[in-house]
Amino acid sequence: MSRIFSIHEEAEVEINEAADFYDLESSGLGTAFIDEISRSIEIVTRFPEAAPLIQGRVRRKTIIKFPYSLIYSLHPNEIRLLAVAHQKRRPFYWRGRR
Question: For 4-35, what is each residue's pLDDT tens digit?
Answer: 999 999 999 999 999 999 999 999 999 999 99
DSSP annotation string for 6-66:
EE-HHHHHHHHHHHHHHHHHSTTHHHHHHHHHHHHHHHHHHSTTSSPEEETTEEEEE-SSS
Q: What is the pTM of this model?
A: 0.90
Domain ranges of the chain: 4-86
Check pLDDT > 80 for residue 91. no
CATH of domain 4-86: 3.30.2310.20
Which pLDDT score is estimated for 61?
Answer: 98
Check pLDDT > 70 for residue 1. no
What is the signed CA dihedral for 20, 24, 33, 88, rounded to 10 degrees? -90
Contact 94, 85 (CB under 8 A): yes
